[in-house]
Amino acid sequence: MIAAVDANKITGPCIVYWTGRVRLSVKVHTWCGAIADAGDGVLQVPDNARVCVDCTAAVERGEPVASRL
């Protein structure tokens, strides 16, 4: 199982790279560089689930994309 967040409803769930507190809220950074609120829901999906294409490419490279602010 992998942690994912539905940061972009069009591309599918994004794979979580980092979850942590930012000021007074909890944020999620994904492998493709998206930022979302953890309060919106972090999902567990099977390893073979269809996820964001950009996240898949970043995981294969072994390097996350810089966060998009």
Q: pLDDT tens digit string along 24-46?
A: 989 999 999 999 999 888 999 99
Alpha carbon distance 61, 64 (integer Å): 8
What is this structure's pTM?
0.84
User: From CA 41, how far away is CA 31, in angstroms rounded?
Assistant: 17
Cβ-in-10-Å burial (0-12, 13-18, 19+) of 34 comes to buried
The length of the chain in residues reads 69
pLDDT of res. 40: 87
Mean pLDDT on 11-35: 91
